[in-house]
Amino acid sequence: MRELKDILEDFDNLRQNFRHFTTKGDGNRITLIEYQGRFVDLKSDLTYWKSHFLNEWTRRDDKAATAIKYRLAGAISRGEYTDHTGKLLDKCSLSIAEKIAAGTKEYQEFIQQRSHYKEYASNISDRREDILSYINEIKDRLK
């Protein structure tokens, strides 16, 4: 499995090389087929990362967010939760604890991770679509 950074760098380089070839090159069929294969390989390399980020985002769905918030609220309502400064919070009702839990560092980090993975999954999908566009352009040029 290749690193995502390497795959994205390879895509940017290949895209630039392909654009240079199409503007300056002679349209050689063998070269076009080589470019097509390289784009297909990059698309395949991104498959793992797309799946990885979608799985991580799915693990942080609404149900998981609610579960974390209620675990925190339970601890807060029982007076068992210490905040980021190390201070033990006083016991309170569950409804008040639920509001406090939504503002805790742990819950906010969870929500931030969730949006991070969703954004990466979306970006990887967009990149795969870009690669597919290049593959289709090469098919058209080969006709």
Q: What are phi and psi of 106, to 5 degrees?
A: -60, -45
CA dihedral 131, 133, 134, 137 (to 10 degrees): 160
Q: Which two tokens stand for residue 95?
A: 């409804």
End-to-end CA distance of the chain: 34
Of the candidates 135, 136, 120, 139, the one whose C-alpha atom is nearest the C-alpha of residue 8 is 120
Rounded to an integer, what distance in angstroms lies between the CA atom of residue 82 and that of residue 90?
Answer: 9
Predicted pLDDT of residue 84: 80
One-letter amino acid at 18 equals F
Predicted pLDDT of residue 87: 87
Q: Which domain holds residue 33?
A: 4-142
Predicted pLDDT of residue 116: 96
pLDDT, tens digit (0-9, with 9 covering 90-100), for 38-57 = 999 999 999 999 999 999 99
Low-confidence stretches of the chain (pLDDT < 70) are none
Residue 88 β-bridge partners = 82
The pTM score is 0.79
Number of domains in the chain: 1
Rounded to an integer, what distance in angstroms lies between the CA atom of residue 7 and that of residue 52?
Answer: 15
Predicted pLDDT of residue 123: 96
